[in-house]
Amino acid sequence: MWFGPTNVGIWRLGVLAELGDGRAALALDAVDVTVIGSSNRQATMWADLGRCLAQTGRHDGQAQAALLRAETIAPQRVRLSPLVRETVGSMLRRARRSAGGRQLQELAARLDTT
């Protein structure tokens, strides 16, 4: 279902996230998930993009934005994902408590990672 270039791009991000090669994701073309009617696939792409960006250690703000967007699209998928929980936990540990940002702390609380 939904097979085509967009879904291939989503899978590519997912593979890079699993490999821990977030830097390689920065070189990929942007994936326009609005052409896919599946909110599940859209949320998956944003969550995987967030994971990739967080893996670089230099793009936590963008990673947070991607994870929040994924949560907006499919909250149940994001909140129950061990991979997203691990990513948010890592981002929180990297950030100072006060510098972590209210939105990141709220997301972590919803994921129960604190």
| Per-residue model confidence as pLDDT tens digits over 34-50 | 888 889 999 999 999 99
Identify the domain containing residue 92 by its residue range: 5-111
> To which residue do tokens 């209210």 refer?
102
Q: How many domains does the chain have?
A: 1
pLDDT in tens, 98-108: 556 777 778 88
| pLDDT in single tens digits along all 114 residues of the chain | 668 889 999 999 999 999 999 999 999 988 899 888 889 999 999 999 999 999 998 899 999 999 999 999 999 999 999 999 999 998 988 876 555 677 777 888 888 765
For residue 37, CA distances in Å to 33, 41, 42, 50, 96 come to 8, 8, 8, 21, 38
* CA gap 16, 104 in Å, rounded: 23
* CA gap 19, 12 in Å, rounded: 11
Instruction: Provide the pLDDT for residue 100.
Output: 61
Q: How buried is 53 (Cβ within 10 angstroms: 0-12 exposed, 13-18 middle, 19+ buried)?
A: buried
pTM of the model: 0.82
